[in-house]
Each structure stands twice: as structure tokens, then as C-alpha cells.
Structure 1
Amino acid sequence: MEIHPDSKQLLELAHYKMPFGKFKGRYLVDLPLPYLVWFRQKGFPEGKLGNYLNIMLTIKDNNLEPIIRKLQKDFPRQST
């Protein structure tokens, strides 16, 4: 099975920030694992945020956070 990740979506995920709650304004990669697990138990929100939280949980479960942090460093978010 060959996997072809969407590079634009991966960069967006690397720079996506939590829009509400206790961790509002933090990058999803900086959310604590127990918070992501809680979301999985309660149900992820609908839409892009829920999808990204689910992906981030998988990334953290597999200790792949350094990849996201490298993307943040190598491809900083452009100011508009």
C-alpha cells in the first residue's frame, strides 16, 4: 500500500491552533495527549478541527511530533 500525504494539509495541520477552550491559541501539536484522548472518548468536533485533532492524536500516539515541529520550523507560517 502506497501512501501519498497531502503536503498542503500537513502544513496546515502543523500551523493549526486550537480555536477554543482551555488551550485556545496553542498549536495542536502542543496539546497534551490526555486532552486528545478525552476528545476521542467524548467525540471529536465536526469538520476540519475534529479531523485534525484525530490526526494529531495518531501522530502523538506514534511519537511523530518531531516531524510536525520540523515542518513548523522549516516552513513558518507566512504573515498576510
Structure 2
Amino acid sequence: MEIKPSKEKLLEMAHYRMPFGKYKDRYLVDLPLPYLVWFRQKGFPAGKLGEYLTTMLDIKENGLEPLIRKIRKEFPKE
């Protein structure tokens, strides 16, 4: 089975900012790992934010944050 990530979703996630709470307006990639782990324990929010936080936790746990930062830098939001 081949997994093909959506380019549009990846670009959106790279530029997505936390909409509420202590880390409001921070890029998801800049959220601390313990905060994402806390969400996993308590339950991710429904919808797009929950999907992006889940994905960002996987990205951070695998040390792939530089890829997201590179995407954000090379493909600035219009």
C-alpha cells in the first residue's frame, strides 16, 4: 500500500497556527512536544485541527520538523 500525502494539506499544515490557548498563533510545528503529547492523552480536537495536531505529533516524534519549516520557508503563504 502506497501512501501519498496531499500537497495542499501539507502546505496548509505548514502554515497553520494554533487557534486558541496558551500557544495561540504559534505555528503547529513550533508547539512543544509535551503539549502535543498532552493532547494525545486528553483527546485531540475534532476536525482539521485535530488531524493536523495528530500529524504534527508524528512528525515531531520522528524528528521531521525541519521538513515542515523548509516547506514553510520555500512556499510562503500567499
- Give the alignment's TM-score, normalised by structure 2: 0.98
Take 1:6 and 1:21, find their aligned partners in 2: how far apart are those partners?
A: 28
Deviations 1:22-52 (A, max 9, x none): 0000000000000000000000001000010
Runs (5+) with no aligned partner, structure 2: none
Task: Report the Cα distance in structure 2 between the residues aligned to 1:59 and 1:47, rounded to whole angstroms.
Answer: 19
Over the matched positions of the two proteins, sequence identity in percent amounts to: 72
- Give the aligned residue type for 2:72: Q
Query: How many residues align structurally?
Result: 78
In the TM superposition, structure 1's runs of 4+ consecutive aligned residues that sit over 4 Å from their partners are none
1:3 Cα shift? Answer: 1.8
Q: Does 1:25 align with 2:25?
A: yes
| Structure 1, gaps ≥5 residues long | none
In structure 2, the residue corresponding to 1:48 is in which secondary structure? helix
Residue type at the aligned position of 1:60: K
